[in-house]
Amino acid sequence: MQPEIPKKRGQLRDTFILLFIVISCVPILVLGTVSLYSISNTHKKNVSELEKQTLIVSEEIINAFFNEIIDTISTKFDSLDQSNLQGSDVNWQQIYAEKFLQSNSAFSQISFVSNEGKEVAKYSKFSKSGILLNVSDSAMFKSAILGKVTISDVHSTLRGQTVTVTAPLFVDGKIFNVVIAEVSLTPLISSIEKVRLQNKGYILLFDKNGTLISSKNNSSNTQHKYISWSRLSTTLQGASLDALSPDDVYVSPVTSLPVVGSTRLIPDINWVIFVEWPLSESGLLVENFRHTILISIFISIVAVLIVASYFAYRLVRPIRLLQNATKEIERGNFENNVVITTNNELEELGDSFNTMATGLKRLEELKNEFVYVAAHELRAPVTAIKGYMELIFDGSGGSITPEMEHLLSPVRKSNDRLVNLVNDLLKVARSEAGKLEIEISPADIRKEITAIIDESRPLALKRNVTINYTPQEDLPLAMINIGSFKEVIMNFISNAIKYGNDNGIINITHEVTDGMLSTSVSDNGRGISEEDLGHLFQKFFRAPDVKSTEIEGTGLGLFITKELIEKMGGTLSVTSKIGEGTSFKVSFKIAKGPIILANSAN
Ligand code: ADP
Q: How far is the CA of 496 from the centre of ligand 1 (A)?
A: 8
pLDDT at 403: 92
Residue finishing a domain among 432, 453, 485: 432
Please work out whether the CB of residue 141 comes within 6 Å of at least one atom of ligand 1.
Answer: no
Distance CA 171, CA 180 (A): 16
Please work out whether the CB of residue 492 comes within 6 Å of at least one atom of ligand 1.
Answer: no
CATH no. for residue 371? 1.10.287.130
Residue 37 lies in a domain: yes
Give the type of residue at 356.
M
Q: How far is the CA of 334 from the centre of ligand 1 (A)?
A: 26
Distance CA 151, CA 463 (A): 128
Residue 242 lies in a domain: no
Please work out whether the CB of residue 491 comes within 6 Å of at least one atom of ligand 1.
Answer: yes
Based on the domain organization, do 123 and 150 belong to the same domain? yes
Q: How far is the CA of 432 from the centre of ligand 1 (A)?
A: 21
Atom of ligand 1 nearest to the CA of 559: 6
pLDDT at 24: 85
Please work out whether the CB of residue 562 comes within 6 Å of at least one atom of ligand 1.
Answer: no
Based on the domain organization, do 61 and 88 belong to the same domain? no
Q: How far is the CA of 427 from the centre of ligand 1 (A)?
A: 18
Atom of ligand 1 nearest to the CA of 525: 24
Please work out whether the CB of residue 250 comes within 6 Å of at least one atom of ligand 1.
Answer: no
Q: In 101-217, at which residue ranges do the beta strands (DSSP E only) sit?
A: 107-113, 119-124, 150-151, 155-157, 160-171, 174-184, 202-206, 212-214
Residue 261 lies in a domain: no
Residue finishing a domain among 188, 216, 251: 188
Distance CA 101, CA 95 (A): 10
Based on the domain organization, do 56 and 94 belong to the same domain? no
Based on the domain organization, do 445 and 591 belong to the same domain? yes
pLDDT at 172: 74
Atom of ligand 1 nearest to the CA of 581: 24
| Nearest alpha-carbon partner for 389 in 378, 397, 401, 379 | 397
Q: How far is the CA of 567 from the centre of ligand 1 (A)?
A: 21
Residue finishing a domain among 133, 168, 188: 188
Q: How far is the CA of 530 from the centre of ligand 1 (A)?
A: 14
Based on the domain organization, do 351 and 421 belong to the same domain? yes
Based on the domain organization, do 581 and 445 belong to the same domain? yes
Based on the domain organization, do 307 and 391 belong to the same domain? no
Residue 125 lies in a domain: yes
At residue 35, what are phi and psi to the nearest 5 degrees? -60, -45
Please work out whether the CB of residue 504 comes within 6 Å of at least one atom of ligand 1.
Answer: no
Residue 121 lies in a domain: yes
pLDDT at 75: 59
Look at ligand 1, atom 8, and give the residue with the nearest C-alpha: 555
**Which 3 state secondary structure label does DSSP give 271?**
strand
Based on the domain organization, do 31 and 141 belong to the same domain? no
Look at ligand 1, atom 2, and give the residue with the nearest C-alpha: 553
CATH no. for residue 522? 3.30.565.10
| Nearest alpha-carbon partner for 164 in 175, 154, 177 | 154
Atom of ligand 1 nearest to the CA of 546: 16
Please work out whether the CB of residue 506 comes within 6 Å of at least one atom of ligand 1.
Answer: no
Residue 374 lies in a domain: yes
pLDDT at 81: 56
Based on the domain organization, do 36 and 89 belong to the same domain? no
CB 109 within 8 Å of CB 130: yes
Region of 482 on the Ramachandran plot (φ > 0 left; ψ -120 to 50 alpha; else beta): alpha
Based on the domain organization, do 447 and 578 belong to the same domain? yes
Please work out whether the CB of residue 558 comes within 6 Å of at least one atom of ligand 1.
Answer: yes
Please work out whether the CB of residue 543 comes within 6 Å of at least one atom of ligand 1.
Answer: yes
CB 209 within 8 Å of CB 225: yes
CATH no. for residue 168? 3.30.450.20
Based on the domain organization, do 463 and 575 belong to the same domain? yes
Please work out whether the CB of residue 255 comes within 6 Å of at least one atom of ligand 1.
Answer: no
Distance CA 111, CA 106 (A): 15
Please work out whether the CB of residue 535 comes within 6 Å of at least one atom of ligand 1.
Answer: no
In angstroms, what CA-CA distances link 70 with 58, 73, 184?
A: 19, 5, 14
The pTM (predicted TM-score) of the whole model is: 0.53
Please work out whether the CB of residue 526 comes within 6 Å of at least one atom of ligand 1.
Answer: yes
- Say what angle helices 345-394 and 284-330 make with each other, to 10 degrees: 30
| Nearest alpha-carbon partner for 374 in 331, 428, 434, 414 | 428
Q: How far is the CA of 465 from the centre of ligand 1 (A)?
A: 17
Distance CA 113, CA 111 (A): 6
Residue 366 lies in a domain: yes
Domain count, the chain: 4
Please work out whether the CB of residue 490 comes within 6 Å of at least one atom of ligand 1.
Answer: no
pLDDT at 598: 39
Atom of ligand 1 nearest to the CA of 526: 25
Residue 109 lies in a domain: yes
Q: How far is the CA of 528 from the centre of ligand 1 (A)?
A: 9
Pocket test for ligand 1, best of 535, 558, 560, 580 (most atoms within 8 A of CB): 558
CB 538 within 8 Å of CB 560: no
pLDDT at 82: 53
Low-confidence ranges of the chain (pLDDT < 50): 1-3, 88-89, 216-219, 594-602
pLDDT at 397: 83
| DSSP secondary structure letters along 407-447 | HHHHHHHHHHHHHHHHHHHHHHHHHHTT------EEE-HHH
- What range does the domain containing 395 cover? 345-432
Pocket test for ligand 1, best of 465, 507, 529, 542 (most atoms within 8 A of CB): 542
Helices (H), 273-283: 279-282
Please work out whether the CB of residue 520 comes within 6 Å of at least one atom of ligand 1.
Answer: no
Based on the domain organization, do 445 and 397 belong to the same domain? no
